[in-house]
Amino acid sequence: MYQFSRAIYRELAPYVRDDKPNTQCESNRELVLRECEEAITRLMTDRRYFARPSRTLFNNLRPYFAMGDLPRVYFVIDRNISFAIDFLKRVPNYAFDTTGVERCCQAMTRKGQPCQRQPLPSSEYCPSHQHLEETFEELELQDFELAA
Protein backbone atom coordinates (compact mmCIF):
# COMPACT_ATOMS: atom_id res chain seq x y z
CA MET A 1 0.00 0.00 0.00
CA TYR A 2 3.06 2.18 0.41
CA GLN A 3 3.22 2.38 -3.39
CA PHE A 4 -0.19 4.05 -3.69
CA SER A 5 0.55 6.90 -1.31
CA ARG A 6 3.95 7.47 -2.91
CA ALA A 7 2.43 7.43 -6.39
CA ILE A 8 0.00 10.17 -5.40
CA TYR A 9 2.81 12.20 -3.85
CA ARG A 10 5.16 11.79 -6.83
CA GLU A 11 2.54 13.03 -9.26
CA LEU A 12 1.52 15.98 -7.06
CA ALA A 13 4.93 17.06 -5.73
CA PRO A 14 5.79 19.42 -8.63
CA TYR A 15 2.57 21.39 -8.05
CA VAL A 16 2.90 21.91 -4.28
CA ARG A 17 3.24 25.57 -3.29
CA ASP A 18 6.58 26.30 -1.64
CA ASP A 19 5.45 29.08 0.68
CA LYS A 20 4.65 28.17 4.27
CA PRO A 21 3.78 30.15 7.41
CA ASN A 22 6.58 30.86 9.88
CA THR A 23 4.73 28.89 12.56
CA GLN A 24 4.78 25.71 10.45
CA CYS A 25 7.75 23.40 11.16
CA GLU A 26 7.41 21.03 8.20
CA SER A 27 7.49 21.99 4.56
CA ASN A 28 4.33 21.78 2.49
CA ARG A 29 5.74 18.77 0.63
CA GLU A 30 6.21 16.88 3.89
CA LEU A 31 2.65 17.67 4.92
CA VAL A 32 1.29 16.50 1.55
CA LEU A 33 3.24 13.24 1.87
CA ARG A 34 1.96 12.70 5.41
CA GLU A 35 -1.67 13.30 4.37
CA CYS A 36 -1.32 10.84 1.47
CA GLU A 37 0.13 8.17 3.75
CA GLU A 38 -2.53 8.69 6.41
CA ALA A 39 -5.33 8.42 3.86
CA ILE A 40 -3.99 5.17 2.41
CA THR A 41 -3.38 3.76 5.90
CA ARG A 42 -6.95 4.57 6.89
CA LEU A 43 -8.20 3.05 3.65
CA MET A 44 -6.37 -0.18 4.54
CA THR A 45 -7.40 -0.37 8.18
CA ASP A 46 -10.84 1.28 8.25
CA ARG A 47 -12.23 0.81 4.76
CA ARG A 48 -15.78 0.20 5.93
CA TYR A 49 -16.08 3.58 7.64
CA PHE A 50 -14.08 5.60 5.11
CA ALA A 51 -16.92 6.45 2.74
CA ARG A 52 -15.27 8.99 0.42
CA PRO A 53 -11.49 8.66 0.62
CA SER A 54 -10.84 10.68 -2.54
CA ARG A 55 -12.86 13.63 -1.36
CA THR A 56 -11.38 13.52 2.14
CA LEU A 57 -7.81 13.46 0.86
CA PHE A 58 -8.55 16.21 -1.66
CA ASN A 59 -10.03 18.45 1.04
CA ASN A 60 -6.98 17.85 3.24
CA LEU A 61 -4.56 18.70 0.40
CA ARG A 62 -6.33 21.73 -1.09
CA PRO A 63 -4.45 24.39 0.91
CA TYR A 64 -1.10 23.25 -0.49
CA PHE A 65 -1.92 23.83 -4.16
CA ALA A 66 -2.77 26.77 -6.39
CA MET A 67 -6.38 27.12 -7.55
CA GLY A 68 -5.49 26.33 -11.15
CA ASP A 69 -3.96 22.99 -10.17
CA LEU A 70 -6.90 21.69 -8.15
CA PRO A 71 -8.65 19.82 -11.01
CA ARG A 72 -5.42 17.94 -11.74
CA VAL A 73 -4.94 17.24 -8.02
CA TYR A 74 -8.42 15.73 -7.70
CA PHE A 75 -7.94 13.62 -10.85
CA VAL A 76 -4.64 12.19 -9.56
CA ILE A 77 -6.09 11.47 -6.12
CA ASP A 78 -9.27 9.87 -7.45
CA ARG A 79 -7.42 7.68 -9.94
CA ASN A 80 -4.89 6.37 -7.41
CA ILE A 81 -7.48 5.84 -4.67
CA SER A 82 -9.55 3.83 -7.17
CA PHE A 83 -6.48 1.68 -7.92
CA ALA A 84 -5.91 1.16 -4.19
CA ILE A 85 -9.54 0.15 -3.61
CA ASP A 86 -9.42 -2.30 -6.53
CA PHE A 87 -6.20 -3.76 -5.15
CA LEU A 88 -7.71 -4.18 -1.68
CA LYS A 89 -10.73 -5.96 -3.16
CA ARG A 90 -8.46 -8.46 -4.93
CA VAL A 91 -6.22 -9.17 -1.93
CA PRO A 92 -7.57 -12.05 0.15
CA ASN A 93 -8.26 -11.43 3.83
CA TYR A 94 -6.07 -13.67 5.94
CA ALA A 95 -5.40 -13.81 9.67
CA PHE A 96 -3.27 -10.67 9.47
CA ASP A 97 -4.16 -7.23 8.20
CA THR A 98 -2.15 -5.63 5.39
CA THR A 99 -0.21 -3.74 8.08
CA GLY A 100 0.79 -6.98 9.83
CA VAL A 101 -1.65 -6.62 12.71
CA GLU A 102 -3.67 -9.69 13.60
CA ARG A 103 -7.32 -9.32 12.61
CA CYS A 104 -10.00 -9.54 15.32
CA CYS A 105 -13.75 -9.95 15.16
CA GLN A 106 -15.57 -6.59 15.14
CA ALA A 107 -18.35 -7.77 17.49
CA MET A 108 -18.68 -7.26 21.22
CA THR A 109 -19.35 -10.03 23.75
CA ARG A 110 -22.28 -10.00 26.18
CA LYS A 111 -19.99 -8.58 28.85
CA GLY A 112 -19.12 -5.63 26.61
CA GLN A 113 -15.61 -6.82 25.77
CA PRO A 114 -14.33 -7.05 22.16
CA CYS A 115 -14.50 -10.54 20.72
CA GLN A 116 -11.03 -12.10 20.56
CA ARG A 117 -11.66 -14.65 17.81
CA GLN A 118 -10.31 -14.30 14.31
CA PRO A 119 -12.87 -13.36 11.66
CA LEU A 120 -13.67 -15.47 8.66
CA PRO A 121 -11.60 -14.68 5.53
CA SER A 122 -14.51 -13.08 3.69
CA SER A 123 -16.01 -11.29 6.70
CA GLU A 124 -15.25 -8.89 9.54
CA TYR A 125 -16.89 -11.27 12.03
CA CYS A 126 -16.00 -14.67 13.49
CA PRO A 127 -18.29 -17.70 12.96
CA SER A 128 -20.15 -16.94 16.21
CA HIS A 129 -20.97 -13.38 15.12
CA GLN A 130 -21.37 -13.92 11.38
CA HIS A 131 -25.09 -13.15 11.68
CA LEU A 132 -24.13 -9.50 12.31
CA GLU A 133 -22.70 -9.11 8.80
CA GLU A 134 -24.87 -6.86 6.67
CA THR A 135 -24.95 -7.34 2.94
CA PHE A 136 -25.52 -4.60 0.41
CA GLU A 137 -28.83 -6.16 -0.68
CA GLU A 138 -30.15 -6.17 2.90
CA LEU A 139 -29.30 -2.49 3.30
CA GLU A 140 -31.04 -1.60 0.03
CA LEU A 141 -34.13 -3.54 1.10
CA GLN A 142 -34.21 -1.72 4.46
CA ASP A 143 -33.90 1.66 2.73
CA PHE A 144 -36.69 0.71 0.32
CA GLU A 145 -38.99 -0.36 3.16
CA LEU A 146 -38.33 2.87 5.05
CA ALA A 147 -39.13 4.96 1.98
CA ALA A 148 -42.41 3.13 1.36
Render pLDDT for 121-139 as a digit per residue (tens, 0 to 9). Answer: 777 788 888 888 776 455 5
Residues forming CATH 1.20.1440 domain(s) in the chain: 2-90
What does the angle CA 18 – CA 21 – CA 77 come to, to the nearest 5 degrees? 50
Mean pLDDT of 41-65: 88
Per residue in 1-48, pLDDT (tens digit) is 778 999 999 999 999 988 776 677 888 889 999 999 999 988 887 777
Architecture of domain 2-90: Up-down Bundle (1.20)
Question: Looking at residue 53, what is its pLDDT?
Answer: 92
Single pTM value for the model: 0.64
**Cβ neighbours of residue 38 closer than 8 Å, sequence gap 6 or more:** none
CB 99 within 8 Å of CB 45: yes
On average, the pLDDT of the chain sits at 82
E strand segments, the chain: none
What pLDDT was estimated at residue 94? Answer: 53
